[in-house]
Amino acid sequence: MTTLSIRSNHFVLHPSGGVYWKETQTWLLADVHLGKVAHFRKNGIAVPREAEGSFYQKMEGLLSLFPVQRILFLGDLFHSDQNNEWYLFEAWVKHQPYALVLITGNHDVIPKWKFEDLGLQVVPQVEEDSFLFHHFPDQETTAFVFCGHVHPGVKLAGVGKQQLKLPCFYQGPTQMILPAFGAFTGLHLLKPRQEDTVFVTTGKKVIEIKKF
């Protein structure tokens, strides 16, 4: 794990793709895309059914690491319309003592009231202190933005012309784009600028990359 200081607050980058905000005991998760496995299988794409449980396994590990008061989902919590995954999520939510907040993304087409009936707060964005939490990057604000949507990744090249594509935390001067937390979400490869900082995640480690 890697801890960053941003505007006098501390954020832990976890290999899962989540970010823990120490001062508010909050987990930030982007692009979970629950239900995508079931959506694929329904459309004839062979995806192992065991992948449906990956979110809950990852959360079990995260929630045991630090004190937690809240989980902020930075959009695209569900991939599409309601399917069988909803009932797994509903059962999981019933056992969570934390505040759960969904910042809506472009894939969040399930009616707002269904999430609210489970106890989630559903909002377009959250602004606290000098931070803005949103689904989409490049917001016009003086706040530092945490967001998702992009599913950021980078391509690394080795001396033997090997190439490796990895998800990453992509930090610019005024925002950080989180990697997708969900499985089978794909990558959008970005070309870092000089002022950007990239932390790739292997799933087990978070590593700052300075040369591309």
Closest CA to 76 of 46, 35, 131, 45: 35
Identify the pLDDT of residue 190: 87
Closest CA to 18 of 178, 189, 184, 199: 178
Helix (H) or strand (E) holding 38: helix 36-42
Identify the pLDDT of residue 53: 67
For residues 128 and 24, the answer to whether their CB atoms sit within 8 Å is yes
Identify the pLDDT of residue 82: 61
Residue 154 has pLDDT above 70, yes or no: yes
Identify the pLDDT of residue 127: 96
> What is the per-residue pLDDT across 62-105, written as a single tens digit (0 to 9) for each?
999 999 999 999 999 986 666 678 888 999 999 999 999 999 98
For residues 52 and 37, the answer to whether their CB atoms sit within 8 Å is yes
Enumerate the β-bridge partners of residue 78. 34
Identify the pLDDT of residue 160: 58
The count of other CB atoms within 10 Å of the CB of residue 51 is 16
Look up the pTM and report it: 0.89
Average pLDDT along the chain:
87
**Domains along the chain?**
2-209 (3.60.21)
Identify the pLDDT of residue 168: 95
For residues 59 and 176, the answer to whether their CB atoms sit within 8 Å is no
CA gap 22, 3 in Å, rounded: 10
The angle, 0 to 180 degrees and rounded to 10, between the axes of the packed helices 85-93 and 54-62 is 20
Identify the pLDDT of residue 205: 93
CA gap 172, 198 in Å, rounded: 9
Query: Under 8 Å CB-to-CB from 6, ≥6 apart: which residues?
Result: 144, 176
Residue 1 has pLDDT above 60, yes or no: yes
Residue 23 has pLDDT above 90, yes or no: yes
Residue 136 has pLDDT above 90, yes or no: yes
- The mean pLDDT value for 139-167 works out to 85
Identify the pLDDT of residue 178: 97
Residue 191 has pLDDT above 70, yes or no: yes
Identify the pLDDT of residue 182: 86
Residue 47: pLDDT band (50, 70, 90) is: low
CA gap 100, 93 in Å, rounded: 9
